[in-house]
Amino acid sequence: MIMKMENKPTVVDLFAGAGGLSVGFKDAGFKIIAANEIVKVFGETYLLNHPDTKLFTGDIRNITVDEFKKECNINGKKVDVVVGGPPCQGFSMAGSRDPKDPRNSLFKEFVRFIEGLKPKFFVMENVKGILSAKTVNKESVKEIIM
């Protein structure tokens, strides 16, 4: 017997791209309540895949957690999980591994949202090279792990 979940656990997807992580969590019985994507065409694709999710299209660095909650109509709603894949081009073994790539610090925005949304758990997808890249200093690695 399959039981229908009336109160599905909720998810916020940051750096969502086309919504691959959201698909996995939705298929597992979660409700995706909000997402963020800076690249307009990726956001459009996300909405095709997840038309019921409120999407904030813009630079996550330019919005506070409270503004995001208001914009995405999640004020007062419990967020069970935050998922996301901060950009990895500066860390990837296949990428440039450029220490000056401005996207290298975007994982800190993911951490900021974790601290602000206070989910029960989070999933941060990234690349193998993130912990060994010269683009990340030891303090940043500690920040990621903490």
Please give the full DSSP string across the chain, using - where no structure is assigned: -PPP-SSPPEEEEES-TTSHHHHHHHHTT-EEEEEEESSHHHHHHHHHH-TTSEEEES-GGGS-HHHHHHHTT-TT----EEEE----TTT-TTS---TT-GGGGTHHHHHHHHHHH--SEEEE---GGGGT-TTS-HHHHHHHH-
- pLDDT score of 100: 65
Predicted pLDDT at 113: 95
Residues with Cβ < 8 Å from 96, sequence gap 6 or more?
89, 90
Q: How far apart are CA 99 and CA 34, in angstroms?
A: 31
Residue 88 a catalytic site member: yes
Q: Which of 82, 88, 114, 133 is catalytic?
A: 88
Would you state the pLDDT for residue 4? 55
Residue 6's pLDDT is what? 63
* Per-residue exposure over 78-88, b if at least 16 CB sit within 10 Å of its own CB, e if not: ebbbbbbbbbb
- The tens place of each residue's pLDDT in the chain, 146 residues long, gives 454 556 899 999 999 999 999 999 999 999 999 999 999 999 999 999 999 999 999 999 999 999 999 998 898 889 999 999 887 555 555 556 566 666 667 888 988 999 999 999 999 876 565 565 555 555 555 666 66
Task: Tell me what pLDDT residue 112 has.
Answer: 92
For 104-140, the pLDDT digits (tens) are: 678 889 889 999 999 999 998 765 655 655 555 555 5
Q: How many CB atoms lie within 10 A of CB 29?
A: 10
